Amino acid sequence: MKRWNYSSAFPESLVNIGAYSQESIVEGGGLCAFYSDSNEDAKGFYVTNGGRPQCISKDNNRPITKWVNAIGATANVAGYATDRVFGWSVGDLTVDGESFTNVVLRYNRILNQWSVRSYPTELKVFAHYVASKVGQIIVGDDDGNVWEYDKTGKYQDGSTDILYRLRTQHDTFSYNQIKSMTDRVIVRGKNLAGAVVSIIKNEDIDTTDPVGGGALSIWNKILGWIGVSKKIEATTMSVEIKGTGMNSDRVHVREIELPGIEVLQNYNG
């Protein structure tokens, strides 16, 4: 990787890592960001403001590391950037034994927060576009189509409502003992009518348990809850919310709270 001051290049190498595709190099918020797979130790996403690039994805305490490690050596990584967000399309990934298609990894540099999204088509190239004096991002997919990226206001594929699923990271609640949950799950959001809430126990995606006999009733309200109909015990718990986005009513999940967690004295063997 070389340094460039918008006039000339410096002859010495800045650092011995680099990006193998120009589509993975993006610029936003005064920073340049890119994906590197130069070697096993350097694999990850980086940002630089002209100095030595800093890795933003190599943190063993954050789940994003296993998603980055799952990116294949031949993946076609393409990115985009805004003043707040960097995002990269990385193809299909298998994480914790579960397969995800057309994955986009998004990093909010203001919040220092990663999120993972899956799309119905593989996004290959991103570009900025101005329509009616409004800036937006467009993307070309692997079928030769061009889409407005994350366009708000339409959440149907033809006349079929689009399914959604949101899953939190696995949480120990600061203790390694078994936790018991018998109360309820509180969700702050909007347009979540009919959403099913489940708990994933001990990082095992095959143990997804719906917490109640019904579904969330949040529609135009911003806060709702669903009672736990059975005792749930686990060392770690992850919350999953899934349902159907109804036409033009965009689903919002702003906060999930588990108020009734009890830490027991015993441990899982």
DSSP of 27-88, one letter per residue?
A: EETTEEEEEE-SSTTT-EEEEESSSS-EESS--TTSTHHHHHHTS-TT---EEEE-SSEEEE
pLDDT at 127 (0 to 100): 92
- 155: tokens are 């959440």
Q: Say which residue the tokens 């918020």 belong to.
A: 29
Q: How confident is the model at residue 229 (pLDDT cuts 50, 70, 90)?
A: confident
Residues whose CB is less than 8 angstroms from the CB of residue 130 and which lie 6 or more positions away in sequence, other chains included:
136
Q: Residue 211: phi, psi to the nearest 5?
A: -85, -20
All domains of the chain, ordered by start, with CATH?
11-151 (no CATH), 164-263 (2.60.120)
DSSP run (H or E) holding 225: strand 223-227
Contact (CB, 8 A) for 16 and 24:
no
Beta-bridged to residue 117, according to DSSP, are: 104
| Most confident segment among 7-16, 148-157, 189-198, 239-248 | 189-198
Bigger pLDDT: 38 vs 61: 38
Neighbours of 28 (CB within 10 A): 19
pLDDT band at 121 (very low <50, low <70, confident <90, very high): confident
For tokens 């770690």, the residue is 236
Kindly state the DSSP code that residue 89 receives in the 8-state scheme. E
The three-class DSSP label of residue 23 is helix
pLDDT confidence band for 26 (50 / 70 / 90): very high
Task: Report percent pLDDT > 70 for the chain.
Answer: 90
% pLDDT > 90, the chain: 30
Strand, helix or coil at 136? strand
The more confidently predicted of residues 246 and 27 is 27
Q: What is the rounded CA–CA span in Å between residue 84 and residue 110?
A: 6
Matching residue, tokens 């990787």: 1
Confidence of residue 106 (pLDDT cuts 50, 70, 90): very high
Determine the distance from the C-alpha atom of residue 173 to the mean position of all C-alpha atoms in its chain, rounded to a whole number: 21
How much is the pLDDT for 153? 53
- 248 pLDDT band (50/70/90 cuts)? low
Average pLDDT of 226-236?
84
- What pLDDT band is residue 15 in, cutting at 50, 70 and 90? confident
Residue 259 has pLDDT above 90, yes or no: no
pLDDT of residue 67: 93
